[in-house]
């Protein structure tokens, strides 16, 4: 988890928002009042930028963008509508750049003069910097990020225009406001995630309305030229049109971040690591507003509990500290959630999707314990939390009294043997429990995160199935496969899947390679003892676990003739594979 000093812009802004909420005359501050104040502040700043973008550009910005013309040419690159399209994009992104540095330039005489009014400077101290930075980043992404050639325009600006822009900004800011210049380089991932949750929806709605109504020169010209310049004739709103927009956004995302935050930001590379550009353009990183409100409410309650027994309420500084910790945790949770969700799409047969989900959790554990964070260590995660989850699942399996109708048949609709049916029923009960809402109300339990719980539960059920295969007299592979097949899509039956405010559940598919997933602690190369299968041997074990023995006995309960047939079938398979005496002979 990032330290508070890493997110100093958000911290200063949040403290001001809390103080504003505290002055509204309420006896006790509430999550709703803080949320309302945070949203209003960002929306007010966006209204300012929206006004700048829909009026004529300043003469200063117009002249700066003249420098972007083709070398030796009269216009920007391209033919037909393209040169004007590129130039107007330049004027729009420079307006946002000025806004993020606290500098306003506009034409005199209501936008008709050949001369600009004097520069107006907004001091970006305390809360103003965070608001300006977040509004500028989100506006650039939402309003212009889906435009083709934007990355080329930004590159041209950097090559031909940037020096002039920096000279002008420094000239306007002078010594007394020098701290404004490029202050947005300080923005962190957590700050961007929180800002998206509060403002992205508003900017999306504003953009759609302006485009539809053809309002504002620097909105309607690029968007009106979009089909022709981008060579996309599909009607807006169609799947083809949406695909083109998203493709442009992916191509532009690196340029969006570097233009607003500078060249010192990390680009996408490791698909499991969230970067600024991923967070900016991927809607999966947008935290639902009610989730943010709930986190605020919990943080405020925690702060109030900390002063119980003393006089008065927590100070704005104490409240800020507690809420910051909660926001940092929430941003880490969301990043891990996206990481796991993206790993689900890997349908290869080598177990890589499951392994990648584990890597997501490992990165989360590392991030939440860095810089004095209050997360749990890897040892605590495995030895306490994963072990507790196994106890929960194995108790549900052992105590299961219900027979799932779907376990009556196995592959090709063949009637299941008693052992296959028992194995399927036990696993079915385990899956049912896994996809329920966690019974623990402990806010600090990392496995209360559904994605984490379901990922680790999948490993546990694989380890359990391996033990049962070894202890079963009969071949039960088809019964095990049947249980995994039934729960191939948990969203059709899991109690904690989908529904209001719920994310789709993480699927768990049977894979023989599950045990080879590596635990890469602290970035070190894993040893043989760092395989998941080895790690779970101390958690899911037959010896000394009465639950496992009870389930093994139930799987092996059958008539004498059935037992003889099972032993014969297993022995033939075993001898064909050239193995030594298996454990089931002694069961």
pLDDT at 188 over 70: yes
Which of 243-252, 414-423, 507-516 bottoms out in mean pLDDT, i.e. has the lowest?
A: 507-516
- Going by pLDDT thresholds of 50, 70 and 90, the confidence category of residue 527 is low
Cα-based distances in Å from 231 to 155, 225, 226, 350, 549: 21, 10, 8, 40, 67
Which of 474-478, 497-501, 556-560 bottoms out in mean pLDDT, i.e. has the lowest?
A: 497-501
pLDDT at 268: 47
**Distance separating alpha carbons of residues 550 and 496, to the nearest angstrom:** 28
pLDDT at 477: 93
Positive/negative CA dihedral, 209, 214, 220, 226: positive
94 Cβ contact partners less than 8 Å away, ≥ 6 residues apart = 61, 64, 65, 157, 161, 165
Which of 292-306, 313-327, 418-432 has maximum average pLDDT? 418-432
Check whether residue 171 and residue 241 sit in a common domain: yes
pLDDT at 136: 98
Is residue 415 helix, strand or coil?
strand
Number of neighbours of residue 354 by Cβ within 10 angstroms: 24
pLDDT at 5 over 90: no
**Distance separating alpha carbons of residues 29 and 31, to the nearest angstrom:** 7
**What is the 8-class DSSP label of residue 116?**
B
Tell me, yes or no, whether 308 lies in a domain: no
- Quick one: average pLDDT of 211-230? 95
Check whether residue 250 and residue 352 sit in a common domain: no
CA angle 247, 249, 250 (to 5 degrees): 65
pLDDT at 439 over 60: yes
pLDDT at 86 over 70: yes
Any idea how long the chain is?
587
Task: For residue 249, give the H/E element and its range.
Answer: helix 239-261
Check whether residue 277 and residue 370 sit in a common domain: no
Structural domain of 174: 4-261+273-285
- Quick one: average pLDDT of 523-552? 81
pLDDT at 264: 55
pLDDT at 499: 61
Whole-prediction pTM value?
0.84
* Residue of higher predicted confidence among 521 and 186: 186
- Quick one: average pLDDT of 159-172? 96
Tell me, yes or no, whether 325 lies in a domain: no
pLDDT at 449 over 60: yes
pLDDT at 211 over 70: yes
Tell me, yes or no, whether 357 lies in a domain: yes
- Average pLDDT over the chain, rounded to an integer: 86
pLDDT at 581 over 70: no
pLDDT at 50: 98
Check whether residue 355 and residue 454 sit in a common domain: yes
pLDDT at 156 over 90: yes
**Distance separating alpha carbons of residues 101 and 114, to the nearest angstrom:** 24
pLDDT at 441: 47
- Going by pLDDT thresholds of 50, 70 and 90, the confidence category of residue 233 is confident
Tell me, yes or no, whether 170 lies in a domain: yes
Check whether residue 103 and residue 205 sit in a common domain: yes
Check whether residue 254 and residue 354 sit in a common domain: no
302 neighbors 295 (Cβ within 8 angstroms): no
Q: Which pLDDT tens digit goes with each residue over 15-58?
A: 999 988 877 655 578 899 999 999 999 999 999 999 999 999 99
* Residue of higher predicted confidence among 133 and 7: 133
Tell me, yes or no, whether 311 lies in a domain: no
Check whether residue 280 and residue 412 sit in a common domain: no
Check whether residue 352 and residue 240 sit in a common domain: no
Cα-based distances in Å from 93 to 58, 189, 191, 372: 13, 22, 22, 38
pLDDT at 2: 41
Tell me, yes or no, whether 313 lies in a domain: no
Check whether residue 351 and residue 255 sit in a common domain: no
95 Cβ contact partners less than 8 Å away, ≥ 6 residues apart = 49, 52, 53, 57, 61, 218
According to the 3-state scheme, what is the secondary structure of 488-524? CCHHHCCCCCCCCCCCCCCCCCCCCCHHHCECCHHHC
Which of 253-257, 300-304, 401-405 has maximum average pLDDT? 253-257
- Quick one: average pLDDT of 298-323? 81
505 neighbors 496 (Cβ within 8 angstroms): yes
**Distance separating alpha carbons of residues 468 and 542, to the nearest angstrom:** 9
- Going by pLDDT thresholds of 50, 70 and 90, the confidence category of residue 437 is confident
pLDDT at 26: 56
Nearest to 61 by CA among 99, 84, 92, 82: 92
Check whether residue 54 and residue 149 sit in a common domain: yes
Question: Residue 89 half-sphere exposure, CB side, CA atoms within 13 Å?
Answer: 34
Check whether residue 278 and residue 367 sit in a common domain: no
Which of 245-249, 290-294, 322-326, 434-438 bottoms out in mean pLDDT, i.e. has the lowest?
A: 434-438
Is residue 104 helix, strand or coil?
strand
Tell me, yes or no, whether 70 lies in a domain: yes
Cα 238 to chain centroid, rounded: 26
pLDDT at 271 over 80: no
Check whether residue 278 and residue 356 sit in a common domain: no
* Residue of higher predicted confidence among 401 and 203: 203
Report how many domains make up the chain: 2
Tokens 């101290």 sit at which residue? 125
Burial of 109 (0-12, 13-18, 19+ CB in 10 A): exposed
Tell me, yes or no, whether 115 lies in a domain: yes
pLDDT at 587: 47
């Amino acid at each position: 988890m990032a330290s508070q000093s890493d997110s100093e812009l958000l911290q200063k802004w949040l403290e001001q928002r809390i103080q504003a909420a505290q002055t509204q005359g309420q006896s006790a501050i509430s999550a709703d009042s803080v949320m309302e104040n945070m949203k209003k502040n960002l929306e007010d700043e966006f209204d300012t930028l929206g006004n700048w973008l829909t009026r004529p550009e300043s003469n200063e910005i117009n002249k700066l963008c003249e420098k972007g013309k083709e070398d030796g040419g009269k216009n920007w690159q391209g033919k037909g509508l393209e040169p004007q399209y590129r130039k107007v994009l330049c004027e729009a992104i420079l307006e946002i750049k000025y806004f993020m540095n606290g500098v306003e330039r506009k034409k005199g005489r209501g936008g008709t003069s050949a001369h600009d009014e004097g520069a107006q400077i907004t001091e970006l101290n305390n809360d103003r910097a965070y608001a300006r930075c977040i509004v500028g980043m989100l506006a650039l992404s939402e309003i212009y990020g889906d435009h083709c050639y934007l990355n080329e325009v930004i590159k041209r600006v950097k090559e031909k225009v940037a020096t002039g822009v920096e000279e002008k900004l420094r000239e306007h800011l002078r010594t007394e406001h020098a701290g404004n210049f490029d202050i947005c380089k300080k923005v962190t991932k957590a700050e961007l995630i929180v800002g998206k949750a509060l403002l992205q929806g508003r900017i999306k709605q504003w953009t759609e309305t302006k485009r539809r109504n053809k309002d504002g020169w620097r909105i309607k010209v690029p968007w009106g030229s979009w089909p022709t310049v981008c060579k996309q004739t599909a009607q807006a709103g169609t799947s083809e049109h949406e695909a083109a927009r998203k493709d442009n956004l992916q191509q532009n995302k690196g340029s969006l971040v570097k233009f607003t935050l500078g060249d010192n930001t990390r680009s996408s590379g490791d698909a499991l690591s969230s970067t600024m550009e991923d967070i900016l353009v991927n809607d999966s990183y947008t935290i639902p507003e009610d989730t943010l409100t709930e986190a605020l409410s919990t943080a405020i309650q925690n702060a109030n509990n900390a002063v119980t027994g003393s006089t008065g309420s927590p100070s704005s500084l104490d409240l800020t500290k507690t809420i910051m910790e909660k926001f940092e945790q929430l941003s880490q949770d969301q990043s891990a959630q996206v990481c796991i969700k993206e790993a689900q799409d890997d349908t290869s047969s080598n177990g890589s999707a499951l392994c990648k989900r584990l890597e997501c959790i490992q990165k989360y554990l590392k991030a939440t314990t860095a810089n004095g964070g209050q997360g749990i260590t890897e040892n605590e995660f495995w030895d306490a939390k994963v072990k507790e989850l196994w106890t929960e699942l194995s108790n549900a399996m052992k105590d299961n009294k219900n027979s799932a109708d779907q376990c009556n048949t196995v592959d090709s609709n063949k009637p299941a043997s008693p052992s296959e049916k028992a194995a399927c029923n036990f696993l079915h009960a385990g899956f049912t429990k896994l996809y329920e809402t966690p019974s623990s109300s402990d806010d600090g339990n990392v496995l209360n995160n559904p994605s984490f719980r379901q990922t680790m539960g999948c490993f546990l059920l694989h380890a359990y199935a391996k033990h049962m295969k070894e202890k079963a007299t009969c071949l039960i592979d088809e019964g095990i496969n049947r249980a995994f097949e039934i729960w191939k899509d948990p969203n059709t039956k899991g109690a904690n899947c989908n529904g209001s405010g719920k994310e789709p559940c993480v699927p768990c598919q049977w894979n023989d390679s599950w045990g080879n997933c590596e635990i890469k602690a602290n970035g070190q190369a894993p040893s043989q003892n760092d395989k998941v299968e080895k790690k779970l041997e101390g958690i899911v074990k037959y010896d000394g676990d009465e639950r496992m023995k009870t389930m093994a006995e139930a799987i092996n309960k059958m008539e004498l003739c059935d037992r003889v047939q099972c032993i014969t079938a297993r022995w033939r398979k075993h001898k064909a594979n050239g193995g030594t005496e298996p454990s089931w002979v002694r069961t």
